Amino acid sequence: MNPHYHENLGDSKKDFLRTDAPKSFFLLNAGLAVLYFAVLAFFFPIGNPTLFYLLIAGEVFHMWQVFTFLYTVWDTGFQRPVYVNYTPGVDVFITVAGEPTDLVRATVLAAKVMDYPDFTIHILNDGYVAGKENWREIQALASELGVNCITRTVPGGAKAGNINNALKLTSNHLVACLDADHVPHTSFLAKTVPYFGDANVGFVQTPQFYKNYAENYLTSGAWDQQELFFGPICKGKNRLNSVTMCGTNMVIRRSALLEVGGMCTQSIAEDFITGLLIHARGYLSVYVPEVLAEGLATEDLLSYSKQQFRWARGALDVIFRWNPLFMRGLSLAQKIQYLSSASFYLSGLFIVLDAALPLLFFYTGLVPVHISGMLLAAVFLPYFFWTIYVIQRVSNFTFTFSSLGFSMGSFNIHLRALASAATFRKTAFSITLKERVRGNFLPLVKWHILYISLVVVGIPFAIFREGLSAALLNNTAWAFLNAIVFVPFIRAALPSDSERNPPEVVPAAPVRTKTYAKFS
Amino acid sequence: MQNSLSLPSYSTALDEPQSFIERWSTSFVFVLMSIPVLGAFFFIGQSLRLDESQSLWQVSRSLSGILTLVAGDVHVPLYHVLLHYWRMAFGESVTIARLFSLFFFVLSVPALYLLGSRAYNKRTGLLVAFLFAISPFMNWYASEIRMYTLFVFLTIMSQYFFIRIMQEERPRLATWASYTLIAILGVFTHYFFFLSLIAQAVYFFLRHRIFPKYTLRLFIGSGIVVALAIAPWVWYVLFRGVVGFQEPSLVAPSFVDLFSTFSQFLFGFQSDALNTIFLSLWPIAVILGLVALRRSVRFLPQTEYFIVSILLSFGLTFFGSHLFAPIFVSRYLIFTIPAFYLIVASLFSTYTKGFRRVIQGALVTLMLVTFGIQVTSPNTPVKEEYRGATEYLSMHATAQDAIIVSAPFTIYPVQYYYRGPSPIKTLPEWDQYAYGPIPTFNHAALPDMVAKTTADYQNVYLVLSYNQGYEADIKQYFDSHYERLNARTFSNDLSVYVYRLRYNTVLSAIPTAVTRTN
pLDDT in tens, B175-188: 999 999 999 999 99
- Indicate if B50 and B112 belong to the same structural domain: yes
Q: Are residues B315 and B439 in the same domain?
A: no
d(CA B375, CA B354): 32
Res. B12: pLDDT tops 80:
no
Instruction: Identify the domain boundary among B376, B408, B429.
Output: B376
pLDDT confidence tier of residue A514, bands split at 50, 70 and 90: very low
Question: What residue of A is the nearest CA neighbor of B206?
Answer: A22
Domain count, chain B: 2
Specify whether B226 is located in the same domain as B346.
Answer: yes
Q: How many angstroms separate the CA atoms of A396 and A87, rounded?
A: 34
Quick one: pLDDT band at residue B512, thresholds 50, 70, 90? Answer: very low
Chain centre to alpha carbon of residue B38: 20
Residues B306 and B428 occupy one common structural domain: no
Q: Lowest-confidence range among A112-121, A424-433, B294-303, B454-463?
A: A424-433
Output b/e per residue, A414-433; b: 16+ Cβ within 10 A: bbbbbebbeeeeebebebbb
pLDDT in tens, A303-343: 889 889 988 998 899 899 899 999 999 999 999 999 999 99
Average pLDDT over residues B78-82: 97
Residues B297-310: what's their mean pLDDT?
A: 91
* Domain coordinates in residue numbering, chain A: 90-299
Q: Which of B120, B286, B343 to mutate to test the interface with A (most CBs of A within 10 A)?
A: B286
B361 and B430: one domain? Answer: no
Q: Measured between CB atoms, which of B212, B258, B295 is closest to A374?
A: B258
Residue B340 sits in the same domain as residue B412 = no
pLDDT on residue B438: 82
Query: pLDDT-based confidence at A13, cuts 50/70/90?
Result: confident
Mean pLDDT computed over every residue of chain A: 89
Is B89 part of any domain?
yes
Q: What are the chain A neighbours of B294 within 8 Å (beta carbons)?
A: 400-401
* Secondary structure (3-state) at A365: coil
Query: Residue range B279-301: average pLDDT?
Result: 89
Q: What is the mean pLDDT of residues B71-93?
A: 93
What percent of chain A stands above pLDDT 70? 91
pLDDT surpassing 90 at residue A108: yes
Minimum-distance CB partner of B294 among A374, A381, A401: A401
Shared domain check, B330 and B197? yes
Q: Is residue B1 part of a domain?
A: no
Cis, bond preceding B378 (omega within 30 deg of 0): no
Q: Is the residue at B7 inside a domain?
A: no
The answer to whether the beta carbons of residues B335 and B190 sit under 8 Å apart is yes
User: Best interface-test mutation with A: which of B295, B304, B318 has the largest number of A CBs within 10 A?
Assistant: B295
Measured between CB atoms, which of B276, B286, B297 is closest to A397?
B297
pLDDT in tens, A321-331: 899 999 999 99
pLDDT mean over A119-134: 91
Residues B131-169: tens digit of each pLDDT: 999 999 999 999 999 999 999 999 999 999 999 999 998
pLDDT for B169 equals 87
A388 chain-B contacts, CB cut-off 8 A? 289-290, 293
C-alpha torsion angle, residues B236, B240, B241, B242 (rounded to 10): -100
- Of A140-154, A426-440, B7-21, B43-57, the range with the lowest mean pLDDT is B7-21
Q: Is residue B6 part of a domain?
A: no
The Cα of A12 is separated from the nearest Cα of chain B by a number of Å equal to 9
Q: What's the pLDDT at B38?
A: 87
Interchain pair A220, B295: CB under 8 A? yes
Q: CB of A480 within 8 Å of any CB in chain B? A: yes
**At A6, is the pLDDT very low, low, confident or very high (cuts 50, 70, 90)?**
very low
Range with the poorest average pLDDT among A35-49, A100-114, A217-231, B389-403: A217-231
Is A90:A193 a contact under the CB 8 Å cutoff?
Answer: yes
Of B376, B401, B416, the last residue of a domain is B376
- Map residue A134 onto helix, strand or coil: coil
Does the pLDDT of residue A439 top 70, yes or no? Answer: no
> A6 to chain B: nearest residue by CA?
B300
Task: Estimate to the nearest angstrom the gap between the alpha carbon of A160 and the chain centroid.
Answer: 19
- The residue that leads in pLDDT, A386 or A217, is A386
Biggest CA–CA distance in chain A, Å, is 78
Per-residue confidence band for B454, with pLDDT thresholds at 50, 70 and 90: confident
Residues B318 and B429 in one domain: no
The pLDDT tens digits for A165-188 are 999 999 999 999 999 999 999 999
HSE toward the beta carbon, residue A389, CA cutoff 13 A: 19
Which class is A90-299 in CATH?
alpha beta
pLDDT attached to residue B504: 58
- Nearest CA among A427, A413, A416, A418 for reference residue A158: A427
Mean pLDDT of B463-482: 93
Query: Domain for residue B15, yes or no?
Result: no
Sheet holding B459-465, edge to edge: B424-426, B402-406, B459-465, B494-500, B483-491
pLDDT-based confidence at residue A282 (cuts at 50, 70, 90) = very high
B185 and B132 co-located in one domain? yes
The answer, yes or no, to whether residue B510 has pLDDT greater than 60, is: no
Edge-to-edge strand ranges of the sheet holding A183-184: A183-184, A293-295, A209-210
Model confidence at A87: pLDDT above 50: yes
Say if residue A498's pLDDT is above 50.
no
Which chain B residues contact residue A484 at CB under 8 A?
287, 290-291
Nearest CA in chain A to B259: A374
Q: Is B366 inside a domain boundary?
A: yes
Q: What is the pLDDT of residue B424?
A: 94
Picking from A10, A373, A389, the nearest residue to B255 by CB comes out as A373
CB contact under 8 A, B298 and A397: yes
How many angstroms separate the CA atoms of A428 and A313, rounded? 11
For residue A23, what pLDDT is reported? Answer: 93
Does the pTM surpass 0.80? The reply is yes
High-pLDDT (> 70) share of chain B, %: 92
Do B148 and B252 fall into the same domain?
yes
Q: In what order do the strands lie in the sheet with A119-125?
A: A148-151, A119-125, A90-96, A174-179, A250-253, A201-205, A284-287
Residue type for position A47: G
Q: Has residue B517 been placed in a domain?
A: no
Angle, helix A470-493 to helix B272-280, in steps of 10 degrees: 30
pLDDT tens for each residue of B34-52: 988 888 888 888 899 999 9
Computed over its alpha carbons, how large is the radius of gyration of chain A? 24
Is the separation of the CB atoms in B444 and B502 below 8 Å? Answer: no
Q: Which residues pair with A437 in a beta bridge?
A: none
**pLDDT tens-digit profile of B209-219?**
999 988 999 99
Q: What is the pLDDT of residue A158?
A: 87
Question: Which among B167, B211, B297 has CB closest to A1?
Answer: B167
Mean pLDDT across chain B: 89
Could you tell me if B419 and B322 lie in one domain?
no
Please report which confidence band the pLDDT of residue B513 belongs to, taking 50, 70 and 90 as the band edges. Answer: very low
pLDDT at B243: 53
The domain of B184 spans: 20-376
Residue of chain A with shortest Cα separation from B272: A470
Give the burial class of A509: count Cβ atoms within 10 A of its Cβ; 0-12 exposed, 13-18 middle, 19 or more buried.
exposed
Strand, coil or helix: what is B462?
A: strand
ipTM (interface pTM): 0.85
Shortest distance between the Cα of B350 and any Cα of chain A, in A, equals: 12
CA B257 – CA B287 distance, rounded (Å): 22
Contact of A374 with chain B, judged by CB distance below 8 Å, is answered with: yes
Chain B residues with CB inside 8 Å of A399's CB? 293
Q: Are A123 and A148 in contact (CB under 8 A)?
A: yes
Reported confidence tier of residue A503, pLDDT bands at 50, 70, 90: very low
Residues A136-161 pLDDT 10s: 999 999 999 999 999 998 888 889 99
**A435: confidence class by pLDDT, cuts 50, 70, 90:** low
pLDDT at B242: 56
Q: Is residue B314 part of a domain?
A: yes
In A327-397, the DSSP E strands lie at none
Q: How far apart are CA B213 and CA A420, in angstroms?
A: 61
Give the gyration radius of chain B's Cα atoms.
25
So what's the pLDDT on residue B14? 42
> What is the predicted pLDDT for the residue at B437?
76
> Mean pLDDT across the stretch B431-454?
85
pLDDT of residue A290: 95
